[in-house]
Amino acid sequence: MRLFRNQRSLYGIVAFVLLGMPATAWAQEGVDSGDTAWLLTSSVLVLFMTIPGLSLFYAGLVRAKNVLSVMMQCFAITCVVTIVWTVYGYGLAFGDGGRLQAFIGMGHFLLLDVGVDAVSGTVPETVYQMFQLTFAIITPALIVGAFAERMKFSAMLSFMALWVTLVYFPVAHWVWGGGWLGAMGVLDFAGGSVVHINAGTAALVLCIVLGRRKGYPATPMPPNSLVLTLVGASMLWVGWFGFNAGSALTAGGVAGMAMAVTHISTAMAALSWMAVEWLNDGKPSVLGIATGAVAGLVAITPASGYVGPVGAIVIGAASGTVCYIAAGSVKKALGYDDSLDVFGVHGVGGFVGAMLTGVFASELFGGVGLDNGIGSQLSLQFLGAAVTIVYSGGLTFIIAKVLDRTIGLRVTDDDQGLDIALHDERGFSL
Amino acid sequence: MKLVTAIIQPEKLDDVRDTLSRLGVTGMTVTEVKGFGHQQGHTEKYRSAEFAVDFVPKVKLEIVVTDASAGRITDAIRDTAQTGRIGDGKVFVSSIDEAIRIRTGETGDGVL
């Protein structure tokens, strides 16, 4: 930018270059318009997962007096993360960290160097950073489900700004930004560890530090509208095609297979949750089939670019069943109040997916193939998951404790409901 | 004058209204209420967590009628709202001292 101190000389050069160029030279060097179109679309789909998909999914599950608070949290997280990302987040996650590259990225301050001509792979860097931003938005938004109905809004905003900075950006860098986990060969196509194990672990730790909702589990806290929840889950399903097939970063066969296996796994997980619930609890439920679908979406996420349809069916069946147990009997036995089962679905589903990726990516099961066989890939997958669990759990605990001692995490009285207590508004005036 | 208060199943409201209209009842007050009697509540399950729902939705009808017609009207409500299952509800009859039409100020049976 500094090169052209005199604007007139800049215009002169532009005019000269434009007049001298054939029309086709308008296409940027190395940019593929098909890939670009697909990644533009995927960015929209992934943002659509958070607002309104996840917002509605969560809004339906809380009590009517808290319906606005969870939607507000998802919406505000979208805004806060966007600004943090623009100022320094993209640099931390995807910048070149130089000597520290294995651990953290740097640069791209205020996206000053991401101009219209900047290219990343086969797409404009503007599109690439926008696509990655939508992942940085949904990951913290997932955590909302764990602390729903009792966390102070100011504490929530502070927690999220700190959490994406200290947890999400580094972990994303380790796996996708050229850091050490990706370099070791950990397979995480669209975010089983980076997004789901990461958010799920943070959710578990935060809900424990925060404490249970007043009256839990003795007081019934039924969902206010499973209609909203099912609409939200359906939007998540559709939006997830951008999440997984978009993570191919190209509009080709890998994206196609990622989309297909995402769809297959989701359907299978929804059926498996429904079936286990039917056998165990007596009836197939709307919330069960919807939650099963989300579990299947989560579990196929790390695997989506690597496995085939057979892997998708097994991953779907496994995640629906295992997450049913985690969100039901395990949560009940351990007594923590993860209000909307973020750990049971995203943490556990992400772990199931991360591990099974190490098996079903093998050519034996129709996957793309593994460099070193199933055994060594499984230990790499376990390492990736374990590192994420330990790092996310530890940092979340520290952030939550510091905020609890300083500004306080909880509302003083959760009986009134957060909509009136924190926002002076009501979701429904019926 | 008598006040007839009936707690009935919500899905029987339209039938009861039609029957009473045929009997010449020209007005009633309807309230959506919750409560329990012999029926008790039911259970709901969300992700394997079971909740007892103690209060069941019902509809409460309040109709003020003349002393002479009270019997016919309570019989009609009973016959129309009946399914024979637990939870059909109850009808209560009590005395009313006075009735006043706000628009005209008239009082007594003519108000009904």
pLDDT above 50 (res A6): no
**What phi, psi does B67 have (nearest 5°)?**
-55, -40
Dihedral sign computed on CA atoms, order A375, A376, A379, A380: negative
Residue A414 CA to residue B15 CA, distance in Å, equals 43
Instruction: Give the relative orientation of helices A226-246 and A33-48 as an angle to the nearest 10 degrees.
Output: 160
How do residues A76-108 score in pLDDT, each as one tens digit? 999 999 999 999 999 999 999 999 999 999 999
Is A220 close to B52, i.e. CB distance below 8 A? yes
In angstroms, what separates the C-alpha of A288 from chain B's closest C-alpha? 6
**Residue A27 banded pLDDT, cuts 50, 70, 90:** low
Does B55 contact chain A (CB < 8 Å)? no
A341 touches chain B (CB under 8 A): yes
Among B42, B43, B48, B50, which would you mutate to test the A interface (most chain A Cβ atoms within 10 Å of its Cβ)? Answer: B48
pLDDT in tens, A235-270: 999 999 999 999 999 999 999 999 999 999 999 999
By the 8 A CB rule, do A357 and A302 touch?
Answer: yes
Q: Is B92 on the interface with A (CB under 8 A)?
A: no
CB of B47 within 8 Å of any CB in chain A?
yes
A332 touches chain B (CB under 8 A): yes
The answer to ipTM > 0.90 is no
Percent with pLDDT over 90 in chain A: 90
Kindly tell me if the per-residue pLDDT of A3 is higher than 50.
no
pLDDT at A228: 98
> What is the per-residue pLDDT across A394-430, written as a single tens digit (0 to 9) for each?
999 999 999 999 999 999 888 899 999 999 999 998 7
Q: How confident is the model at residue A2 (pLDDT cuts 50, 70, 90)?
A: very low
Cβ–Cβ below 8 Å for B48 and A280: yes
Q: What is the pairing mode between strands B49-53 and B42-46?
A: antiparallel
pLDDT band at residue A7 under the 50/70/90 scheme: very low
- What is the structure's pLDDT at B41? 81
pLDDT digits (tens, 9 = 90+) for A312-371: 999 999 999 999 999 999 999 999 999 999 999 999 999 999 999 999 999 999 999 998
Q: Are B106 and B23 in contact (CB under 8 A)?
A: no
Q: Are strands B56-65 and B29-35 parallel, antiparallel or unpaired?
A: antiparallel
Instruction: Give the CA diameter of chain B.
Output: 60
pLDDT digits (tens, 9 = 90+) for A151-168: 999 999 999 999 999 999
- Chain B residues in contact with A329 by the CB 8 A cut-off are 48
pLDDT for A205: 98
- H-helix segments, A211-252: 226-246
Task: Over range A196-204, report the average pLDDT.
Answer: 98
- Amino acid letter, A302: P
Return the pLDDT at A22.
45
The size of the A-B interface in CB pairs under 8 A is 32
φ/ψ of A287, rounded to 5, equals -65, -35
Measured between CB atoms, which of A223, A329, A332 is closest to B46?
A: A223
User: Which residue in A199, A66, A83, A197 sits closest to A138, CA to CA?
Assistant: A199
Residues 6+ apart with CB under 8 A from A424: none
What are the tens digits of pLDDT across the range A276-310?
999 999 999 999 999 999 999 999 999 999 999 99
Q: Which amino acid is at A60?
A: G
For chain B, residues with pLDDT lower than 50 are none
Q: Which pair of structure tokens corresponds to residue A288?
A: 């069960």
pLDDT attached to residue A12: 46
**How are beta strands B2-8 and B89-95 bridged, if at all?**
antiparallel
Answer whether residue A9 shows pLDDT above 50: no
Among A217, A220, A287, beta carbon nearest to B47: A287
B44 contacts chain A (CB < 8 A):
yes
Q: What is the rounded CA–CA span in Å between residue A368 and residue A372?
A: 13
Side-chain half-sphere exposure of A305, counting CA atoms within 13 A: 20
Task: Note whether A285 contacts B53, CB cutoff 8 Å.
Answer: no
The Cα–Cα gap between A263 and A260 comes to 5
Distance from CA of A359 to the nearest CA of B (A): 29
Which residue from A222, A324, A332 is facing B44, i.e. has the nearest CB? Answer: A222
Q: Is the pLDDT of residue A16 over 80?
A: no
